[in-house]
Structure 1
Amino acid sequence: MKKYPSGMEAALEVVGGKWKSIILYHLTTGKKRTNELRRLIPDITQKMLTQQLRELEKDGIINRIIYHEIPPKVEYELSEYGLSLRTVLDSLCLWGERHLEKVYGDRSAVLEVYCPDDTYERL
């Protein structure tokens, strides 16, 4: 078993990096197919998306649902365990909006508003 100096490092190993948090953010709104995720995250390569999805599945954060039909259909969703990250993701989203407001004077650079207002008030 690997030793971690802090819980933060253990958490970042699971959800850190450029893509995992963004994938999880999109899965908070419901099940998504691979192509849906590619459209939502246009800068990610297919190889990287597949790798990140596999790692999140291995860590129990997401579920891979395979429908046995022709053509084959696969969807991804947050697992029950992954849903426990919702408040963390909401907080990061809101912090990012506040950061834009502080640095640039507004949050207009945020194209998609997902963060719930009631959480914003609590921060």
Structure 2
Amino acid sequence: MSIKSTGERFTHTLHAIAHQTATDVRLVKSQLRPRQQLHRGLAQQALACAESIGLTAMPMRSVAGHDAISLSYRCPSCLLFVPSHNGLSHNEAEFTKQADLHAGLDMLIALLGQLSLQHASVLTQENAS
């Protein structure tokens, strides 16, 4: 299935829902972009960084349209996740404990510290693994 046909199906579905619910929907702007793999080397470095500061981490996949996807076309990018109660995210019932938020911030600071000391060529290698 192509990106274009997926976009067309999505638009059709939105309009069908709007019709069924007597509401109006209008797409002002859309961006269809190809599937993008985030930087594996950076993700592996993030996992190692988590371990080095005593955090438990694991690789995760996401289908959400994070800013990291847009950034990844210009610079190496990865995502860092923190645990949410019952695994909910992008939902009004999402809740993350303050301690987990602090641990996530510790992780981000540690990773940025490591990256700031690396030579730029380490990350500019295309999806280094």
TM-score (norm 1): 0.28
Q: Which structure is higher in RCO with an 8 Å CA cutoff and minimum separation 6?
A: 2
Pick the structure with more strand per residue.
1
- Higher helix content, 1 or 2: 1
TM normalised by structure 2 equals 0.27
